Structure 1
């Protein structure tokens, strides 16, 4: 049995299911056709500001860290972290501000995307996305919803109604929020099966754990045969075989918001660029409706805010880390926070014949009873719950303007399905599947001293095109000397008129009068 067949089929279904969400980018600068002509668009040069915030409600990854990241820079692929073989994301909200955008209406972009798919890092644009750009400003934002249809990917993830809202603005006088985007997800169920594991319970001739002898291998093979389903359904716990349970589900609404705005700098008339990503969720269920159900209660909601003043000393990253409590069977298994970022829940099989035909997850049997002392078991996998720590990067830049840029990423919850050394299957990756809830990204870039809040100068007009001149007259003595002669004659005529008018008139005698 080849384990790569099912992941390959899933990847093919992903490619056929539809395009995926991609972060919007500004229009590339077209080549100059006529150097003497006016520019297509003159960017705003009075208020420099660049920032973006992105929040994803849920991302499911198959074979994480298995595909190399492609790069146009030679040798960079070996240094960049690897990507997942297949990624399916839902409820993506992004807000972007870029004063240097070539087209003026792309200075502010707010986008809410219902979902997206990426195969080895390639993610085309998804249909059904809400988007708004500025300028010109819109007094009203845009809102809408989408109910994704049933697809072959429902085994991986199935979502309910998604709602989104976007608003983009651009003010030359640096007032108000520039870009604002939000998404809201009513329901979610992820991983009704784990396609990277075999679906048959009989692993004869396939199972070969390196730390077990052939006799011990056969004991495990016999134990797996007694389970209700194959490893892809965790022994019959997940969907399939008459069950509708998912590895992860949401009993309540999950919402995300991304905002980029300009804020005051104390003691300065200029502004700072502030990018904020926020999440709102009450609880997450694992293996809901089964005897092994776990509840992950969100005690503290996460908020990520990155502020750039243009100077390293005063730029900040503020992160309110989430606090999660994991409960199974009414008993707390522990809390996840910055001090305790990881909790493992083992998945095993009893080495005696199980009565309930189900595995052992955590400290519970398939009957819902606590694991009795003395019952020997073998852990074949682990459900790893973790809160992703804050990662941040900063850099002083000179392009497209001199300033300071700052960025940070975080996650609300990571759920990974990991194999143990006892799971003797060939060609298994280090992680079989991963579900991430609440992915947060925020970046800000401001010029040195802050954003100058001045009304944009009138765009320079292109110089008028030179008018064609008429034919030049040939230079001749008669032509050019006739001009002073004309004015001299006119002056003498006027003098003569004045003299005639000034002299007294004589009275003439009639020749017919006698003397």
Structure 2
């Protein structure tokens, strides 16, 4: 089990995670991985072959989800490419993307590096500037090989973010891979992320920061409206602060309840076959979503159902499929249902405008210093719903709500193996501030391309891709290759077992070692035998010894 990815893996894993959550056009490309090293010169030997039994199955796929993504000036920056002229064919990027609560599960049997076979990642947030994604800290990750019998779970540390603020975040990751059977382990990669609360877009940085009262040609506003309010705060609907916390009021989107995502990569059974299909599953769980929380014009969005995106590839285009369970969202105000977003009515535009003096004159009461949202105006006597806003409101923007937006794309591939790849993406809720689609047809020829909107908030963005070989994934392993046998000469059996004794040199080596051993033994004996001690106080002989028989 690994608690964190090694430093050498951090950058490719972060880039792969943000690529998974890129616009739906990425769904038809292959999964990024470390390229296979190529010989520098024609005479260089090839890469060493792996040892032991190798898995027969091939499976490639990924599943990813984000709890919330804020895009500023989407589709405004061209995508860079090292291939000449290829940038015009790629989808344009956002000027800035900030995501919160990212989870991804990835499987790739064709990866060159062993730890890229299975990757599960749960990250508190991510940031991309003009398509370039730096590494984000504070996440959980597991990779295989080696295999991980147990998942890794823990809390995530959300970095300070001026656009996306989250409360308590938690995540869980689990990556599996068998050295001999490869992806045939059931669930290959599993990642989940949950947030206790979240707020997105407390201000619109891409809007003019000038006060509304300084705009030229502005008609007289209704009494009580503060002309010093900036357009970045949508006329007072947002707090306009870049440092608000997750529970602060004045955000475009607030989620007071837990929002969670779950991404799974696994193999499933194929009907009437011993092989397997590759399945990518992305699931979201949401309850309540608030718009303009803390203001009298607060709207509550209640989500019914659990959005689930399931992409299954059998290797055959006819049997591969995309299944999506679309949510039903009701937009309420104080318990009264105003709109319903479902598969039959997936889009709703809510205009935002400044109240003019003619509106207060018609209502006969003072208007609070807030814009009119969807014909709903806040007055001193409570909220009033307008049947028409023509001549009474100066439009400054539109909130476009979309659900589902299911996109799918498939293609037949031959590299790295013959099979069928299928990809899809969907979103729980998509909010666009001031979409520019209506302006595209009235702009003069030669005008630079406009971004699709001023700002975009995506909740519950899901993506899934599955790529299986034709006929399905084969679960099994190769037979280990036997060690090569050295060939024997034809007359190997007739060689004598012992050569003839022809010289005394054969005894030189034994004699040398025998003499050496005797010399060492003698040195040991000399060292072990103690030396004789000298006699203490010897008797000194007399200078006049007595002669026997002399009497003296």
Give the TM-score taking structure 1 as reference length: 0.77
Alpha-carbon spacing, 1:371–1:337, altered in 2? closer, same or farther (3 Å): closer
Contact 2:225 2:368 in 1 (8 A): no
Instruction: Tell me the SS of whatever aligns to 1:22.
Output: helix
- The question of 1:53 aligning with 2:63 is answered yes
1:33-52 to 2 correspondences below 5 Å: 35-36=44-45, 39=48, 41=50, 44=54, 46-52=56-62
2:417 aligns with 401
2:177 aligns with 170
1:232 aligns with 232
Alpha-carbon spacing, 1:126–1:274, altered in 2? closer, same or farther (3 Å): same
Q: What's the CA shift for 1:430? A: 4.6
Residues 106-148 of structure 1, C-alpha deviations (whole Å, 9 max, x = no match): 2111111111000111112222221111122211111121232
Give the TM-score taking structure 2 as reference length: 0.72
- Which of 336, 346, 349 aligns to 1:344? It is 349
1:26 aligns with 33
- The question of 1:433 aligning with 2:455 is answered yes
1:308 aligns with 313
Contact 1:46 1:453 in 2 (8 A): yes
CA distance in 1, matches of 2:383, 2:169: 38
Q: Which moved more, 1:349-358 or 1:89-98?
A: 349-358
Contact 1:380 1:419 in 2 (8 A): no
Residues 168-221 of structure 1, C-alpha deviations (whole Å, 9 max, x = no match): 1113172420111111111111111111122332453x54xxxxxxxxx23168
1:370 aligns with 384
- The question of 1:84 aligning with 2:94 is answered yes
Instruction: Tell me the SS of whatever aligns to 2:15.
Output: coil
CA distance in 2, matches of 1:176, 1:373: 57
Contact 1:416 1:435 in 2 (8 A): yes
- The question of 1:147 aligning with 2:157 is answered yes
CA distance in 1, matches of 2:263, 2:422: 16
Alpha-carbon spacing, 1:394–1:20, altered in 2? closer, same or farther (3 Å): closer
- The question of 1:328 aligning with 2:330 is answered no
Q: Which moved more, 1:426-435 or 1:228-237?
A: 426-435
Q: Which moved more, 1:70-79 or 1:431-440?
A: 70-79
Q: Which moved more, 1:68-77 or 1:118-127?
A: 68-77
1:358 aligns with 370
1:168-317 to 2 correspondences below 5 Å: 168-171=175-178, 172=181, 174-202=184-212, 204=214, 206-207=215-216, 217-219=217-219, 226-227=226-227, 229-240=229-240, 244-317=249-322
Q: Which moved more, 1:446-455 or 1:191-200?
A: 191-200
Q: What's the CA shift for 1:327? A: 1.1
Alpha-carbon spacing, 1:72–1:374, altered in 2? closer, same or farther (3 Å): closer
Alpha-carbon spacing, 1:136–1:78, altered in 2? closer, same or farther (3 Å): same
Contact 1:246 1:286 in 2 (8 A): yes
Contact 1:228 1:357 in 2 (8 A): no
Q: What's the CA shift for 1:408? A: 0.6
Contact 2:330 2:337 in 1 (8 A): yes
Instruction: Tell me the SS of whatever aligns to 2:405.
Output: coil
Contact 2:378 2:384 in 1 (8 A): no
Q: What's the CA shift for 1:323? A: 1.2
Alpha-carbon spacing, 1:45–1:20, altered in 2? closer, same or farther (3 Å): closer
Structure 2: which 5+ residue stretches go unaligned? Answer: 1-10, 18-31, 361-365, 440-446, 488-495, 501-552
CA distance in 2, matches of 1:220, 1:462: 92
CA distance in 2, matches of 1:203, 1:67: 32
2:24 aligns with none
Backbone CA RMSD of aligned residues: 3.3
Contact 2:55 2:475 in 1 (8 A): no
Alpha-carbon spacing, 1:106–1:440, altered in 2? closer, same or farther (3 Å): same
Residues 279-305 of structure 1, C-alpha deviations (whole Å, 9 max, x = no match): 000111101111111111111221011
Instruction: Tell me the SS of whatever aligns to 1:390.
Output: strand
CA distance in 1, matches of 2:422, 2:250: 42
Q: Which moved more, 1:234-243 or 1:90-99?
A: 234-243
CA distance in 2, matches of 1:393, 1:187: 34
Alpha-carbon spacing, 1:220–1:381, altered in 2? closer, same or farther (3 Å): farther
1:135 aligns with 145
CA distance in 2, matches of 1:37, 1:394: 34
Instruction: Tell me the SS of whatever aligns to 1:235.
Output: helix
Alpha-carbon spacing, 1:131–1:365, altered in 2? closer, same or farther (3 Å): same
2:509 aligns with none
Q: What's the CA shift for 1:248? A: 0.4
Instruction: Tell me the SS of whatever aligns to 2:232.
Output: helix
Alpha-carbon spacing, 1:61–1:461, altered in 2? closer, same or farther (3 Å): farther
Q: Which moved more, 1:23-32 or 1:311-320?
A: 23-32
Contact 1:302 1:412 in 2 (8 A): yes
